[in-house]
Structure 1
């Protein structure tokens, strides 16, 4: 989350109409009543709750279909897709909302660095051959350069590490198990006047394969600054607290 958003939440300044007030009421209610998910799964059209689901996709469905527009906008950003024809130089652009940025682990060797993955996501790319784009000015397909920019930064940024790739040797999806180096603070983009600094406050981990497995989450408490591990109904303090010795964690 951004520093400004974190400070606003921690200050606990909220009136009866603010989103913070509604969230506070919701969590106070959850402390006193058992949590049921049947209304959420019904709203999302999930009939087989025993089937493996992708956490990021599930989260986006909740933001789109269950939450209020104000809550959804906290996680929603806007990307600008830009293309430039290599033949005539014509530039075009379009805007799209996003709730998460997918980072490719394919092609990385050794430890995967989140900072490098974000840089790769926004790096300019060339398309040619069968991937050529149609240019209205040329009235034909042509080579082009593509790049993306963040037009609107979300208050809370979600990065999705794409850990599964299709292996043609086995004709199935396999999981990439290399370690990930994550910074406590992430600047996006890494240069420019429009950059935004985010502070890590939670990460989700998946154990298992594509169609079966288990999700847990580790969250930094805003009350005492410590990290806690959430595993179904069990919540424990993390023995080796992250980011105590370095600005990154492996």
Structure 2
């Protein structure tokens, strides 16, 4: 069983993302860095496939492509992997044993409808097009599987949000109606009910919209219909890390368990190492996306460097010193993150804004491409069709074919990677 990640869509930047960069970055990230004393992990790789969002009017940009073999490993680890050895493959090299094409798969025109901009809603439209081209979620709602799992007891929306979302996705994929323009007014109304911050028609942040939308869809189909009592006891510190991770994941699923979560939620491992006794304290938390910091430095950066910055060791000293669970006193510690469980669809978010000024405080560092302000930017999306493999640009109501050579473009903001098994 081969396992690897593909860039399925770039999602929502204010300018554009790149598909080809996925190979360079993720080959290095998904090569587990086998530190001494840690269990050997099965490396997982990805092949080219993706989507992009860019700002209108920008010219495509092509980064240099070093040999894949020359890319150095990073600290990010794939803990808990179950697959065997795997390698890098292009999406065109998939196994002949792949499932037979359905009627929808055979259609070259489905999924190419646009979305009407009903007033500064390009941020919403770009996210919806990205989700529409995310195959696991697409098939879940288009085949009405969500209808059997509506949570009418704990969900505040009682299924209204995912029903409106499914209606839009079905319209986008309605067979024989290529170039149709889909209205999102009903869906926007339901989103506003769930998250009032999206009331009105001002420009909003696409990543925040994505997070709220996914959490709302998750609530609507949460399989937990009777809220259980929370477990207040700490996980036994004497357990192995894998046992702790399994227990933490089990506790999470007692409260939050949905098909949407199956697709997008992973598990992050945080390690705290005491520099005095070398004792490791680990915690495990679910995540919907990974927010990658952009190091505050001048010059050009690669996405790979943002990933390295995310998983780097951080020293906690002075007022930040935590209490070592073994020493019983505050000690200087080292802290770092690894991914314990990757989701089926991995969402990466580049943190290009300062925490004090959400829209005006954008970091101006180049991440392998120039960054500019998005205060009044226009969102578009580049997506690779989940069945035909063709690339298209989604710019509100306009959907146009695009050559893979022209996909790579400056500012990535949100990236989707889909785990592939063959």
Q: Normalising to structure 2: TM-score of the pair?
A: 0.44
User: Aligned partners of 2:100 and 2:363: how far apart in 1?
Assistant: 40
1:116 aligns with 2:305: yes
Structure 2 gap ranges (5+):
7-45, 47-90, 104-135, 144-165, 175-181, 222-257, 411-422
Mean alpha-carbon deviation: is it higher for 118-127 or for 28-37? 28-37
User: Aligned partners of 2:364 and 2:101: how far apart in 1?
Assistant: 40
Aligned to 1:28: 170
In proportion to residue count, which structure has more helix?
A: 2
Cα distance per residue 1:14-63 (max 9 Å; x no partner): 9xxx9664333443344456333211221233452324432222212222
User: Aligned partners of 2:349 and 2:98: how far apart in 1?
Assistant: 24
Aligned to 2:5: 2
User: Aligned partners of 2:307 and 2:172: how far apart in 1?
Assistant: 35
Give how far 1:128 is off: 1.2
Give how far 1:102 is off: 1.1
Indicate which of 394, 399, 402 corresponds to 1:238: 402
User: Aligned partners of 2:331 and 2:203: how far apart in 1?
Assistant: 42
User: Aligned partners of 2:386 and 2:393: how far apart in 1?
Assistant: 14
1:143 aligns with 2:332: yes
Indicate which of 209, 214, 217 corresponds to 1:66: 217
User: Aligned partners of 1:57 and 1:158: how far apart in 2?
Assistant: 13
Aligned to 2:295: 106
Give how far 1:112 is off: 2.2
Contact 2:198 2:204 in 1 (8 A): no
Aligned to 2:268: 79
Give how far 1:232 is off: 1.8
Q: Normalising to structure 1: TM-score of the pair?
A: 0.70
User: Aligned partners of 2:362 and 2:216: how far apart in 1?
Assistant: 30
Greater RCO, 1 or 2 (C-alpha within 8 Å, sep 6+): 2
SS state of the match for residue 208, structure 1?
A: coil
Number of aligned residues: 216
Cα distance per residue 1:214-240 (max 9 Å; x no partner): 322211123443322222222223367
Give how far 1:89 is off: 2.3
Aligned to 2:362: 175
Question: For residues 164 and 9 of structure 1, do their structure 2 counterparts lie closer, same or farther at Cα, with a shift above 3 Å needed?
Answer: farther
1:153 aligns with 2:342: yes
Structure 1 gap ranges (5+):
183-204
Aligned to 1:189: none
Question: RMSD of the TM alignment (CA)?
Answer: 3.7
1:129 aligns with 2:318: yes
Contact 2:362 2:373 in 1 (8 A): no
User: Aligned partners of 2:272 and 2:102: how far apart in 1?
Assistant: 44
